[in-house]
A and B are shown apart, each in its own frame.
Chain A
Amino acid sequence: MKDGSGFWTQALTIARRDLMIESRGGEVFGVVLPFAAVAVFVVPLATDALATRLDQLALPVFWLVGLLFGMQVALRQTGTENLAQRRTLALLGIDPAARFAGRSLAAAVLTTGVMVVIAPLVVLFYDPDVIPAVGPSLLAIVGFSVGLSMLSTLAGDVTVGLRTRSSLAPLIVAPISVPLIIGASQTLEALIRDRSTMAPALLLTVTVLSLAVTGVLTAPALEDATT
């Protein structure tokens, strides 16, 4: 740690690098976020707004948009490392687990940002009856974003360099992300209905921790597979 090459130092350096590239490229907040906002806006137009209870669609649309565009954030072009970059990092002695942690952290920050911007739009367009408390809701969003980012980073690394990566990675992420969706959405539902959030929050926490352990343990093998 003293020479600045400890796990967290490396992870934070990688995260800072990813966020810097993103701030230059502006892919997430310039392209993905507007696209997500359009998706939130389009759903009511695809239903009979007079006959459909839009307030009941608010939470499902929020989580669906979060899932689909969260994946896009983690698999964004500006966050993709080419083979040369991966090899350079390996030769520099960057811990593969730290690389995974750093990339996931950067994606989690960006995904949380997207979802925090989308939330008021959902409230505005869908007018839900009850809005849950901001603090606990933010925790659920952050938990979901962290889990989804780790999962998407894993899937992105498994499929790196493949021609079908853009469609294959979401196919891998979407079904495995279900415990995250259930945990986060049920936590928010429990907050709205004034029920105990213990069980869904526990599911979310256990899933996030499992993904973290899996990502860290498989990182060396994954680096070997893709460099």
Chain B
Amino acid sequence: MTKRLVLPALSAVAIVYALWLALVSSPDVFQGDFVRIMYVHVPSSWLAFLAFGVTALGSALWLWRKTIVWDRIAEASAEIGVVFTALSILTGAIWGEPVWGTYWDWGDARMASTALMLFVYLGYLALRRATPDPVARAKRSSILGLIAVVQVPLVYFSVSFWRTLHQGQTVRPDGIQMDGSMVAALLAGLAAFTLLYLALMVERVRLARIEDENMLSDSVTAGTAITAPDLDGIS
């Protein structure tokens, strides 16, 4: 029990530290304090990419090894990815209103492609929910998990492929275009969100195992409860 609390406790401490750094870092020359939303927005987006990448990896490993734990990992990661994609869209919209003057802009390739990525993974989760049998579910969803991951590079490179309102990559091979305190807050946010992802993954995979076990025990109970009809006395 104590061991199980280590990762959540570590991630909680890391998140508090990252938020503190986000609050004390320098404001942006142009955006002022609104830039602080970035310290939640960017880690959320990173976490979504990581989560969907792990979903694809889990799907591929399930298809290769047929070990159910890979399917549970794929499912858990997709669920976490969906939550953080939604958070990324939400924080982006909140930031966009004061800085761009709009919550949503259809001309922005990053926004539109991120929303599409969210819908694709909602479809993935809907497919999982529609298939009660764990093995059949794993077989079907692993294929979709591999197809859906194509959205991730599309979203990431959308700011380079299309002319768009969203800013380009700040961290590039030729250097980082940010103040030192902002970089520290951003890196702390990325590390804290990654720890949170690990903590959520461990718990969700454990929960998925319990769900599968319950489903199997339910089917056994239902099976034993059914007895042959008593036809004595019926002519």
A-side residues, CB < 8 A to B, are: 154, 158-159, 162-164, 168, 171-172, 174-176, 178-179, 210, 214, 218, 221-222, 224-226
- Across the interface, do A175 and B119 meet the contact criterion of CB distance under 8 Å? yes
Q: B134-142, B209-217, B224-232: which one contacts chain A?
A: B134-142
Docked pose: A226 CA to B137 CA in angstroms: 10
Cross-interface CB contact of A221 among B123, B124, B139, cutoff 8 Å: B139
Q: Chain B residues with Cβ under 8 A from A218's Cβ?
A: 143, 146-147
- In the assembled complex, which residues on chain A have CB atoms less than 8 Å from the CB atom of B23? none
Cβ B143 vs Cβ A178 within 8 A = no
B126 at the interface (CB under 8 A from A): yes
Provide the residues of chain A in CB contact with B117, threshold 8 Å: 175
Whether B139 pairs with A224 at a CB distance below 8 angstroms is yes
What are the nearest 5 A-B pairs in CB distance? A225-B139, A175-B119, A172-B123, A171-B123, A164-B130
Do the beta carbons of A178 and B139 come within 8 Å of each other?
A: no
Interfacial chain A residues near B120, Cβ < 8 Å: 172, 175-176
Q: How many residues of B contact A (CB 8 A)?
A: 24
**CA A56 to CA B148, docked complex, whole Å:** 33
Option from A159, A174, A176, A226 in Cβ contact (under 8 Å) with B147 = A176
Check if A221 sits within 8 Å of B142, measured CB to CB: yes
Asked, given contacts A171-B123, A175-B116, A225-B136, whether A158 binds B130 with beta carbons under 8 Å apart, the answer is: no
When the two chains form the complex, which single residue of B127, B142, B146 contacts A172, counting CB atoms closer than 8 Å?
Answer: B127
Q: Give 12 A-B pairs besides A168-B123, A176-B120 with Cβ atoms closer than 8 angstroms.
A: A158-B127, A162-B130, A171-B119, A171-B122, A175-B120, A176-B148, A176-B151, A210-B150, A221-B139, A221-B142, A222-B143, A225-B139
Contact of A158 among B122, B143, B154 (CB under 8 A): B143
Chain B residues whose CB sits within 8 angstroms of the CB of A163 once the complex forms: 130
Q: Which of B131, B139, B148 contacts A162 (CB 8 A)?
A: B131
Alpha-carbon distance between A214 and B146 when the two chains are bound, in angstroms: 9
Q: Beyond A164-B130, A168-B123, A172-B127, is A158–B136 a contact (Cβ under 8 Å)?
A: no
CA A178 – CA B106 in complex, angstroms? 14
Q: Which residues of A contact B124 (CB under 8 A)?
A: 172
Of the A-B pairs whose beta carbons lie under 8 Å apart in the complex, a sample of 30, sorted by A's number, is A154-B143, A154-B147, A158-B144, A159-B127, A159-B130, A162-B131, A163-B130, A168-B123, A168-B126, A168-B127, A171-B119, A171-B122, A171-B123, A172-B123, A172-B124, A172-B127, A172-B144, A175-B123, A176-B120, A176-B150, A178-B116, A214-B146, A214-B147, A218-B143, A221-B139, A221-B142, A221-B143, A225-B136, A226-B139, A226-B140
